[in-house]
Structure 1
Amino acid sequence: MDHLKIIKTPEEHEAALARLMELMDADAQEGSREADELEVLAMLIDQYEQREFPIDRPDPVEAIRFRMDQQGLKNKDLIPYIGSASKVSEVLNGSRRLSLNMIRRLNAGLGIPADILIQERVQETAREKDIDWQAFPLSEMKKRGYFEGFEGSLRELKEYAAEWVTRLLTGVRGGFDLEPAMLRTTSHLRTNDKVSDHYALWAWQARVLQRAAEQQLPTTYQSGTVNLEWMRNLARLSWSEKGPELAREYLEKSGIHLVIEPHLPKTYLDGAACVDANGSPVIALTLRYKWLDNFWFTLMHELAHVALHLDGSEAWFIDNLEAETEDDQEQQADALAQNALLPEGIHYHAISEAVAVRRLANELNIAPTIIAGRIRHDTGNHKMFGSAFREKVSLEVDC
């Protein structure tokens, strides 16, 4: 048996077959050297043939037709498994792919192995997951273009939800790690008593990573870049009418993504901070409230997470900033954001005149709307200053 080795060429395969026939003709006794050689040689030949001559998987439609012939089934008998007479016809003539839902029903009802019916790797991936695909906000996701290349109806999307959502999740690193069941270990969620749709949140997180991957940053992020001085320099850009656009450019030049992605229903989000596949920070803003002071505080709060908590971490910080919190990390981020925007030691609640707001804004070289927003927050009087200092963000949603 010393000459036995892995078969690599057609010539070695032919020689191994010849030797196999010799051993079989010799009718070797069990336990003999020849019998052991026969067993090992057969394994080596089988290994080579599986590698070089793989058997093609049966065509799913042919498998269905074969089972129909076996059981004497007509096209109409497939309606419970495929959905309608027209869908049955389209599947059997090859113009419609089987959905994962159809595959499961055909497997359970007709006993056709799912492995034979599965046509795409995305279906295999989806089949391995215990996920309620219909729980995703499919209608809103479709409306906002989450499913690139999908042109069908909402009903069609619901039929193929497993496939299309799986494409979204596998298109970004760690997409399935954002599953609601994993939320406690992978994310820090700041929320209040409002109902939070975790499937909608999951979809939004994947969309943020997808948008970040589409952006080309001019430089690589260096750990420790974001600090109080860096944030105060950013805050001074608020003085310009183009402050939000300048902020985007400021972040990008430091290797930080800024993604504007509206929140999905029942998520009540203002922003989030995470890292992309390359370890670059991603700041995501929903612009739930489009006032400039909300924009600047939310931006600074998420950047504070980068400075204090995110460097070197793959966690998510997801924030509803209306929610009161006793979480140490959230309180730290609030404090750093406020300090970056406005210096400590000024009694903002004592300022009640618009002229005083403008004077202080000139002294600090920041937008007066930030000061007015701080005063409204501190005093709880959101009608203070009337319509003055009520500027809206002009930053466009990412497309």
Structure 2
Amino acid sequence: MQAAFRRSREEQSDVGAISAWLRMGEQDAEKLDGDKFNRTKYIAALTEIRKLTVLPPEQFEPLLREYFKSAGVAFVIVPAIPKAHVSGVARWLNPHRPLIQLSLYGKTNDKFWFTLFHEAAHVLLHGNEKKSVYLDDPTKTGNASAAEREANEWAGHFLIPQQHTLQLPELRTKAAVIHFANSIGIHPGIVVGRLQHDGIIDPSWMNDLRMSFRLNAAK
């Protein structure tokens, strides 16, 4: 089974467990109906999905599934299983049907949305490489492949457009973060995650602006 997936702790991951988790997602995806993948509809869907980041899970989850379905993308949530430290996977079930599978490993909204758009980027940017395998440990970005770096960059810029990144070092208060997030239409927790990742603020700062949640694995 070939796939592009984000691993949270490569050194603790078990190949058998990862394969089992991937197979569970494939089985769930087989239960979903939908049209063939449509790139134009997919790009439009991603724009709408970005707007969902400000909503609570009970509101955005059904819309998220519907937007992906409308573009011909199978989207499933398969909870993490022991020894399969995988955040998400993007792969093609066949030449006309991509799958995005998330585990909710991390369970905070900044990680959820970045992982989702990272996997979405693989479908968008690497659709001609349907049999390629991309392994990624997000804690070791220096070892990432070119495709993983492209997906990371695309996701980061899609959530926080590049023209706004110069403002990030100025966001030193919760009020400033909230105002900035509102101005670009995303949840403040995503901004906090970016500030922490970029080393602009300490990992212990502003975590109350991030949202922890659960999503329904049922389809």
Change (3 A) 1:188 1:364: closer
Change (3 A) 1:344 1:250: same
Matches of 1:394 and 1:195 in 2, distance apart?
24
SS, match of residue 274 in structure 1: strand
SS, match of residue 75 in structure 2: strand
1:339 aligned to 2:145?
no
- Determine the structure 2 residue equivalent to 1:295: 112
**Is 1:238–1:244's contact at 8 Å kept on the other side of the alignment?**
no
Query: 1:384 offset after TM fit, Å?
Result: 1.0
- Determine the structure 1 residue equivalent to 2:180: 360
Q: 207, 211, 222: which one pairs with 2:38?
A: 222
When structure 1 is superposed on structure 2, of 284-293 and 187-196 the one drifting more is: 187-196
Q: 143, 148, 160: which one pairs with 1:330?
A: 148
Matches of 1:259 and 1:317 in 2, distance apart?
19
Cα deviation per residue 1:126-152 (whole Å; 9 max; x = unaligned)?
Answer: xxxxxxxxxxxxxxxxxxxxxxxxxxx
Matches of 1:206 and 1:392 in 2, distance apart?
27
Query: 1:244 offset after TM fit, Å?
Result: 3.6
Matches of 2:148 and 2:173 in 1, distance apart?
32
Cα deviation per residue 1:240-288 (whole Å; 9 max; x = unaligned)?
Answer: 2223432222111111111101222222110000112463110000001
Query: 1:225 offset after TM fit, Å?
Result: 4.7
Q: Pairwise mapping of residues 1-399 of structure 1 onto structure 2 (< 5 A)?
A: 178=1, 186-188=2-4, 191=7, 194-217=11-34, 219-223=35-39, 225-227=41-43, 230-241=45-56, 242-277=59-94, 279-311=96-128, 313-317=130-134, 319-324=136-141, 325-345=143-163, 346-347=165-166, 348-379=168-199, 381-387=202-208, 389-398=209-218
Matches of 2:104 and 2:196 in 1, distance apart?
19
SS, match of residue 86 in structure 2: coil
Query: 1:316 offset after TM fit, Å?
Result: 4.9
Q: Please report the TM-score for the alignment, with normalisation by the length of structure 2.
A: 0.85
**Is 1:234–1:250's contact at 8 Å kept on the other side of the alignment?**
yes
Larger Rg: 1
SS, match of residue 72 in structure 2: coil
Change (3 A) 1:190 1:323: farther
Aligned residues: 212
Q: Please report the TM-score for the alignment, with normalisation by the length of structure 1.
A: 0.49
Higher relative contact order (CA 8 A, sep 6+): 2
**Is 1:248–1:258's contact at 8 Å kept on the other side of the alignment?**
yes
**Is 2:95–2:130's contact at 8 Å kept on the other side of the alignment?**
no
Query: 1:394 offset after TM fit, Å?
Result: 3.8
Q: Which one has a larger percent strand, Structure 1 or Structure 2?
A: 2
Matches of 1:394 and 1:267 in 2, distance apart?
18
Letter in 1 for 2:90: A
Change (3 A) 1:397 1:322: farther
The percentage of aligned residue pairs carrying the same residue is 27
**Is 2:78–2:102's contact at 8 Å kept on the other side of the alignment?**
yes
